[in-house]
Each structure stands twice: as C-alpha cells, then as structure tokens.
Amino acid sequence: MDASADAPIADLAAAWRLVDHRSTAATADPVVLDCARRLAADPGGERAAEWVYGLLSMTRYLATRAEDATAGQVAEVLRTAARALDGAPCDHPTHPYESALEQIEFDELWLTGSAPDVVLLANGTPTGEDPAWQEPGTKEEYRCPHAVAVFARIAAEIIVPGTPQGIPERVPDDYADRIEDLASVLHGYPRGGAEPAYEITAGTGLPAHPTTGALAGHLALLRAGCWEAASGTIRPRWVLDDMIGTLEAALRALEGATCSHGDGAHPELSGDPDTDAATGYHLLTPGGRARLQRSHEDGIEDAHPPPGPAAPISRHSPATPSARSPRPVTGSSASAGRRTWTRSACAPTGPGTRRGWRECCAARPGARNGPRTSGCGPHAASWAAPAPPTNGSCCS
C-alpha cells in the first residue's frame, strides 16, 4: 500500500478490503493505523467520510483480532471525529445508517458492509449521473456530517463497546415480536405462533468471530431461557445440545479474558421475563445498546448499561497477546450426540458429563443489583459457567 499523504483513494481502499477477521497484526495494523492517522489529522475535514468508512469496513479485524491498544486507539479516533462532525441538524429526511441498524440480525459485524464504495463517493460525479453507484442512499446522504458522525460512533461501539450515546436507538423491525415471543415462553404462557423450543434457543448460532456485544447478547438470551430448557417441558434433544454447544464455544472465545471491574460491579439478569428477553436482544446491536443505556439513565428498573469505557475488556490471555479472539467459534461443536439425559432431572448422564450442571442450567437469574456493566466479556463468561449449586441438584 502507498501510505504517502497523497496516496490515491483507490489504492487505500484496495488495502482496506484485505483487512478482516483473518488478518494478522503484522499485515493489518499498518493499514488500520494509517487510516486512523489520516482521520485524526483532520477529524472534521472534507475527507473525514472516506477515513470513517475505511475504518468501518475494517471493523471485522478491529473488533475480533486487533490487540486492545490498537482497537482502543482507533475507537477513540472515531469518537473524536464524531464529536468534530456534530453540528447543526441537516435537512435530509433519511440517512443510510437508519436502514443499516434495522437490518442487523444476530451479528453486528454485518454493518461493515454498510460502508459505501469510497472510490465512487470521492469521484465527484453526482449520484444520478453515476451508474456504478449502487448504495441505498445518495452520495450527499453518505457525506452528510451527521451521517458520518453516526457511522463513526457505530464503528467505535462495535470495536470497543461502552459508549453508545449518540447512536440512534434503532433495532431490527422484528425484535419487538421476538422479545414478546420469548417473554411469553418464559412467563409460561406462549403467545400464538411462539414455539418454545425455538424461542429459548434464540441465543444459539453464535457468529464464528463474535464481537463482545454479540457474546453478551447471545449469553444473556441463553441464560434467560436456561430454566425453561431444563424444566422438563421442552423435549427435543437438539435444544439442550445447541445451547450447550454455544455456551462451550463462548467459553473458549473468552478463555483468559480479564476486566477491570471491581467486586459486585457486574449485573445479574433481573429474573423478569420481559426485561431479560429485551436485554438479551438489545445487547446484540449498537442501536439496542443505545436503548439500554438510555433506559438505565432514565432510571428504568432493571435496565443495565452496556460496558463502560472506564472498564476495558481484554479478550485474550497473556499467552496470546496478538489475538483478541484467538480461535473461531463454532456453535454446533457440542451437538454430536455424546450425551443422554434423564427424564427426572436436567443433569446429563453418560460420557462427557463433568460440566453437566453448568451446561444445562447456566445460572439462576440473580437479584436486582442496580446499574452495572452488562456487556463485560469476562462476566458474560460467568453467565455461561457459574458456580455450581450447593444442594446437589443441577436445577435447584
């Protein structure tokens, strides 16, 4: 890559496209940090949009593979740019980030694809005269300082979650129905059309390279549904296998993770089905975490904020400093039919049952403990592998 100050945008964009979750620090960091330096040099300038979208396109690496120092540096540059770009309201009726936030499913890294083609964005040809431009919005909308600022906040939130302020509280259109369906199952009265087995396994299917937000959301959903899964009312074997497989995969991804939160500084799920279902789904996306943050600031009971910037998460062990997520996650790794289950209890029997109590039950939802850091990776690991029950029963 030509890293000179006057490097053609086409050359820079070509280098950005090579940076993803498979990249190593040796090859990716020079590209990422060059783009960040260009943005930091003029965070509110005419070319800020190009650098913001360049970094957004590289968040697969920054959120899952980059060292903490690199990720933190880039996130701070993006947040600085967002502040510099904020200004008077624009007159655009819509912005591209709105549809982008609403179309996420279970992997917020899908948003990397919402970065426009910066070469076409910078070519000076109006939208209507550029047949190669295929983005959902106009070039003017993508260059709008307000839109660029929001995209910068979204990228920073995906890379280092904890500061979702300024991100619109937009979530996928079907989240409201999904939350109601899961809550109805957890209440014990599934509403019409809700299939209990599918609702309580909403947290399975963890992305192969999950962000911290994805890990927290998936594990919160699984923990919310674990008691129903182990109650004996859910019969299909695949339900427990899929839940266990995802929990084991999450534990592998979080192996050696550390955080700076003190004792008692982590949340427990509320035990209220409606709240827990909403918490799990909203942790999955930047817009959802913005909604959780606002609810917490508004004093809504049991609303937990996402992880705070003063409490950084390290997702790699000291033995593997170059990889924040040292191995891909495969949610189906434990679904090979190696367990049998008793009808009278949820404890697995037969080979491979050493962690049966923790795999089948995850944890009893805890007490309401006030404002906490609900997206912390290491604490998410404790949701997947809590302390064993004291009475000898896996579900009591």
C-alpha span between 385 and 396 (Å, rounded): 16
Q: What is the pLDDT of residue 339?
A: 27
Confidence tier at 94 by pLDDT (50, 70, 90): confident
15 in helix, strand or coil? Answer: helix
Q: What is the pLDDT of residue 295?
A: 84
Q: For residue 259, what are the β-bridge partners?
A: 313
Inform me whether the pLDDT recorded for 201 exceeds 80.
yes
Averaged pLDDT for residues 264-273: 79
Q: What is the pLDDT of residue 267?
A: 74
Neighbours of 69 (CB within 10 A): 10
Confidence tier at 3 by pLDDT (50, 70, 90): low
**Nearest to 363, CA basis, from 266, 265, 253, 256:** 266
Inform me whether the pLDDT recorded for 390 exceeds 70.
no
Q: What is the pLDDT of residue 306?
A: 54
Confidence tier at 239 by pLDDT (50, 70, 90): very high
pLDDT digits (tens, 9 = 90+) for 324-341: 443 344 433 333 332 222
Averaged pLDDT for residues 112-123: 94
Dihedral sign for Cα atoms in the order 323, 325, 330, 335: positive
Confidence tier at 154 by pLDDT (50, 70, 90): very high
C-alpha span between 31 and 377 (Å, rounded): 27
C-alpha span between 315 and 215 (Å, rounded): 11
Question: Is the model more confident about 175 or about 317?
Answer: 175
Q: What amino acid is encoded at 111 in this protein?
A: L
- For 396, counting Cβ atoms within 10 Å of its Cβ (0-12 exposed, 13-18 middle, 19+ buried), the class is exposed
Q: What is the pLDDT of residue 391?
A: 35
Q: For 340, phi and psi rounded to 5 degrees?
A: -120, 160
Terminal-to-terminal C-alpha distance of the chain? 59
CB 64 within 8 A of CB 211: yes
Q: What amino acid is encoded at 246 in this protein?
A: T
Averaged pLDDT for residues 84-111: 87
| Tokens coding 84 | 């510099």
Q: What amino acid is encoded at 185 in this protein?
A: V
DSSP track, 57-82: HTHHHHHHTS-HHHHHHHHHHHHHHH
* β strands within the chain, DSSP E: 258-259, 313-314, 340-341, 348-349
C-alpha span between 132 and 347 (Å, rounded): 58
Inform me whether the pLDDT recorded for 387 exceeds 50.
no
Q: What is the pLDDT of residue 312?
A: 37
Averaged pLDDT for residues 68-72: 95
CB 304 within 8 A of CB 372: yes
Least confident of 15-19, 243-247, 266-270, 340-344: 340-344
DSSP track, 180-193: HHHHHHHHT-PPTT
Q: For 26, phi and psi rounded to 5 degrees?
A: -60, -35
Averaged pLDDT for residues 123-151: 94
Radius of gyration (C-alpha) of the chain in whole angstroms: 22
pLDDT digits (tens, 9 = 90+) for 7-39: 799 999 999 999 999 999 999 999 999 999 999
Q: For 129, phi and psi rounded to 5 degrees?
A: -105, 5
Question: Is the model more confident about 373 or about 134?
Answer: 134
Confidence tier at 124 by pLDDT (50, 70, 90): very high
